[in-house]
Amino acid sequence: MLKKISISKISELAAALMDKGLLLAPVKEISGHNFVEIKDPKQVDLDFHNTIASPKAAFFPHKEDFIKYETGKPIDTASVVALNLPPTFLFGARPCDVKSFGIMDIHFIASGIVDPFWKQRREAAVIFGYAFDLEKPAQPEEFYQTLGIGAADPEGSDIFMVKKGGDLLLNSVTPKGEKILTELKILNEGKAADKKYYDEYIKKGKEYKTRSMCLEPGAITKKLEDLFQNTDFWNRVSSACISCGVCTFVCPTCYCFDICDDTLFGHGTRRRVWDACMFTDFTLEASGHNPRTHVYQRLRQKINHKYSYHVRKYGVISCVGCGRCTKYCPVNIDIYSIIEDAMKA
Amino acid sequence: MSFEPKILGIACNWCTYTGADLAGTTRLHYPPNVRVVRVMCSSRINPSFIFRAFQLGADGVLVGGCHPGDCHYNTGNLYARRRLAVTKKILEFAGLEPGRFRVEWISASEGNKFAEVVQEFTAQIKELGPQQKLKIDELQEKA
Amino acid sequence: MTDFRQIENNLKKEAKRLLEAGEVAVVLAYGRGYDEKHPMPFAAKTIADVESLVFNEYCNFNMASYLMRYPWGTKIAIAAKAADSRAIIQLVQEEKVRREDLVILGIPAYGMKNQKTNEVVDSKTTGGLYNPVIYDILLGEEIHGQKIVSPYEVLAEYEAMDKEERWAFWKSQMDKCIRCYACRKACPMCYCDPCFIDQNKPRWADKAPQSPGNMMYHLTRFHHLAGRCIDCGECSRACPVDIPLYLFHKKVAKECEEMFGQAAGMKLEDKPVLVDFRVEDSDKILE
């Protein structure tokens, strides 16, 4: 089903979605756009290339409370935090980011050990994918084409949106999306010309140029396995790395977390917080031993996890090529160049 | 109910804490709002103690040490003076009322000065009202 | 003023000479990144590496951050712009590196640009110096005649704010923090291991990115850098969410300079102000 709305009326659409539940949409902040829970429909701003942080926080928040307890009381007085999620609309996620949810699903659901928080959040959400603007060139850091992701891939979204001049075309991809589209009375019916434009746009999106190389999951896995012991190689690519957590925190497919207890005057919360394999204390054991003390070991872990271990375990590369890690790296380490180097090595 | 401020006092073992003791033994009256923590020297005070105290709900923080030159460890309070001066500037620039943090040199024989300072400081904090800025939100709900 | 290309050539020439003569084991400078606009810090260890060295207006990163990766006694040549040289002095003062281990390749640079915003990096976000304070070899002509603007001028607007307004400003800024710790990792002066925020006992703040923990982390970090911050502005440039950390650091630096009469990283023989005292320090500073 294809519907359309004028972009100038976007805040009305946002208001309609807010009536139905929670709306997460890009908002212009001082330093760039970010997905934010919308309080005022006028905040929604679709004039962005991509957000600073990936939308993974919609399903995997930076801080997730699990259990509340009182210190010194018996364990049965502790209570599990219930989510009670309203329908959530993730509005305007780019195709590469939408793809990342599928990759994270493998880890959090399909691997057999189900993460209830991720699952509930995923089920409550309707994803409005939003194609990149094909008229504008890709950012230098992006490389989703390498990973076989087009700039206008509707796959993974419930509703996929494409900009047509001053209009926004919304097409349902899943039955869930179709239901929402029928319910939104504010939308106009799409005409045959719109349908044609939409189909062509999706097709054109496949050819949208970002940095790209031929990357076959099996080949890169093999290559990285061979390179594992090559300390010189890893030392060279990681020589600039300062071990901060920017790359992992902005990454749409990084899912490592730390479980911690925070107590305040006897009231405790057990929660999970994002952690980053780049931090020195990530692998620090209680004994004081740390198996990854060097920078190169940590960067090697990150690259291998995404391009080798994940492929070996689940058969997919755990990277969508959004380029955020490269863009926000304080010392401009480029994951694409490392993979390129690895393939050549 | 009128506002009774919670004030954290951090006192050095050799001068201010003994001074506070003297104030007690000479039966001087001063407000009970100050909870005193004893440290060995004013230079032992980590600035994070002060930030954390405000976060955990202190309305004011009073630091007491020996008079410069009288430090039991010779130079401790001279370092502390510089450090705490910076702490004060940081709190001020962050937007906290400067009156909520105070450093006083009170010797072991100045029981009356201790009582006076506490009286004065408590009155000042009462005027400023509850400290809401740095206080952790969860604590504010309970209050 | 020497242009960047000429500086790059001089850098290559000196690096080659030093490595060839065996005077240094490593040259810390900038290398090629994934494009011209994104050069990377680079450690040249062989003569073949020298060809990869670059220098252009986007080479902002403070190379002094890498000095402590090498054990004492390793001879290091380091490309140092004004702020980098101040960081080196500060690290020497703190006995983290030894002056005799270093060959400082001074780079006078004017018109460095922030790659994110493309704005010229000036006294607004950094110390605003153009010439390295200390060097062994200068890779270009010293820059003179540029207008000197006090690095503290930008503070006036914030100092004039009402305290409620300033609190609201800082709170909104700190709430953005995602606790990636890029600021502390990009900072040449942040070398503690472990950092206070990573400690479990005592646990100073939550690990979660929420207001109290963020505030605790940043306020304490400002304090730890009091009298040590050399105003290179790298913390704010590294920040993915653009928190203007440089403002607070500038303010603390300004207060320290006013109270103790000494700016960080200007003279090798100075002592950092907070590990020093004068008997004649006035009690007025506490008011």
Specify the 3-state DSSP secondary structure of A98: helix
Q: What is the pLDDT of residues A141-191, one digit of tens each?
A: 999 999 999 999 999 999 999 999 889 999 999 999 999 999 998 899 988
The answer to whether residues A195 and A283 belong to one domain is: no
Domain count for chain A, please give it: 2
Domain that holds residue C179: 153-286
Same-domain status, A252 and A177: no
Q: Quick one: which of A303, A297, A291 has its CA closest to A223?
A: A303
Structural domain range at position A20:
2-206
**Residue A282 resides in a domain:** yes
Residues C112 and C192 in one domain: no
Give the mean pLDDT of chain A.
92
Asked whether residue C236 is assigned to any structural domain, the reply reads yes
Q: What is the pLDDT of residue A161?
A: 93
Nearest CA in chain C to B78: C277
User: C46 vs chain A: nearest CA distance in angstroms?
Assistant: 12
The answer to whether A319 and A143 have CB atoms below 8 angstroms apart is no
Note whether A200 and A222 are same-domain residues: no
Residue A320: inside a domain: yes
The torsion angles phi and psi of A132, rounded to 5 degrees, stand at -65, 155
Residue C246 reports pLDDT greater than 90: yes
Q: Are residues C113 and C235 in the same domain?
A: no
Which pLDDT belongs to residue B142?
52
Residue at a domain's end among A139, A171, A206:
A206
Whether residue A143 contacts residue A211, with contact meaning beta carbons closer than 8 Å, is answered with: yes
Tokens for C194? 């472990």
Q: Hey, of C163, C250, C252, which one would you mutate to test binding to chain B, going by the most B CBs within 10 A of its CB?
A: C163
Counting residues of chain A whose pLDDT is more than 90, the rounded percentage is: 82
Q: Is the pLDDT assigned to residue A345 strictly greater than 90?
A: no
Pick among B44, B48, B92 to test the C interface (most C CBs inside 10 A):
B48
Using CA atoms, how far residue A237 sits from A231, A315, C240, in Å, is 10, 25, 22
Mean pLDDT in residue range C221-239: 94
User: Is 0.90 surpassed by the pTM of this model?
Assistant: yes
pLDDT, mean of residues A282-305: 93
* C79 φ, ψ (degrees, to nearest 5): -80, 120
> Is the domain of A223 the same as that of A339?
yes
Residue A195's pLDDT band (boundaries 50, 70, 90)? very high
CB contact under 8 A, C167 and B133: yes
- Give the pLDDT confidence score for residue C203 in this predicted structure: 87
- Within a 10 A sphere around the Cβ of C280, how many other Cβ atoms? 6
Number of structural domains in chain C: 2
Phi-psi category of residue C234: left, alpha or beta, with phi > 0 → left and psi -120 to 50 → alpha? alpha
Q: Is residue A212 part of a domain?
A: no
User: Do A263 and A326 have their domain in common?
Assistant: yes
Kindly state whether residues A45 and A91 are assigned to the same domain: yes
Select the residue of C167, C222, C281 nearest B78 (Cβ to Cβ): C281
Separation CA A58–CA A143 (nearest Å): 23
Indicate whether A190 and A127 sit together in one domain: yes
Minimal Cβ distance to B84: which of C166, C227, C286: C286
- Are residues C164 and C128 located together in one domain of the fold? no
Last residue of one domain, picked from the residues A151, A171, A206: A206
Contact (CB, 8 A) for A90 and A58: yes
Q: How large is the average pLDDT for residues C178-194?
A: 93
User: CB-based contacts of C159: which residues, under 8 Å, 6+ apart?
Assistant: B93, C251
Which pLDDT belongs to residue B1?
65
Average pLDDT over residues A196-213: 91
Q: Are A267 and B138 within 8 A, CB to CB?
A: yes
Taking residue A229's Cβ as centre, other Cβ atoms within 10 Å add up to 8
Confidence tier at B143 by pLDDT (50, 70, 90): very low
**pLDDT per residue as tens digits for the range C152-168:** 999 999 999 999 999 99
Compute the average pLDDT of residues C98-110: 94
CA dihedral sign, ordered C190, C238, A305, A128: positive
Looking at A179, A206, A233, the residue that finishes a domain is A206
C219 belongs to a structural domain: yes
- Looking at the fold, whether A167 and A86 belong to one and the same domain comes out as yes
Do residues A59 and A21 share a domain?
yes
Pair (A177, A35) in one structural domain: yes
Looking at every residue in chain B, the average pLDDT score rounds to: 93
Give CA–CA dist B36/B50, Å, rounded.
13
A211 assigned to some structural domain: no
- CA of A268: which chain B residue's CA is closest? B138
- How far apart are the CA of B135 and the nearest CA of chain A, in angstroms? 12
Mean pLDDT for B105-116 is 95
How far away is chain C from the Cα of A265, in angstroms, using its nearest Cα? 14
Beta-sheet pairing, C76-80 with C137-138: unpaired
Do residues A39 and A78 both lie within one domain? yes
Identify which of C177, C159, C166 has the alpha carbon closest to the alpha carbon of residue C215: C177
Residues C224 and C105 occupy one common structural domain: no
β-pairing, C53-54 vs C26-31, is antiparallel
* Residue A179 one-letter amino acid: K
Residues C109, C224 share a domain: no
pLDDT of residue C206: 86
Same-domain check for residues C124 and C183: no
Which of C277, C279, C283, C287 to substitute to test the interface with B, most B CBs within 10 Å? C277
* B73 part of contact set with chain C, CB < 8 Å: no
Instruction: Say which of B78, B82, B90 has its CB closest to residue C252.
Output: B90
Q: Is A292 within the bounds of a domain?
A: yes
DSSP-assigned letter for residue C120 = B
**Sequential DSSP letters for B13-70:** TTTHHHHHHHHHHTT----TTEEEEEES-GGG--HHHHHHHHHTT-SEEEEEEPPTT-
What mean pLDDT is predicted for residues C79-108?
94
Asked if C175 and C219 sit in the same domain, the reply is yes
Average pLDDT of the segment spanning A260-275: 91
Q: Please say whether the beta carbons of A85 and A58 come within 8 A.
A: no
Identify whether A134 is part of a domain.
Answer: yes
**Band of pLDDT at residue B41, cut at 50, 70 and 90:** very high
- C103 and C189 belong to one structural domain: no
pLDDT average, residue stretch C280-284: 86
In a domain, C218, yes or no: yes
Asked if residue C224 and residue C169 are part of one domain, the reply reads yes
Average pLDDT over residues B120-141: 89
pLDDT, position C104: 96
The domain boundary, picked from C108, C138, C168, lies at C138
**CATH for the B7-142 domain, from 1.10.3470, 1.20.1260, 3.40.50, 1.10.238:** 3.40.50
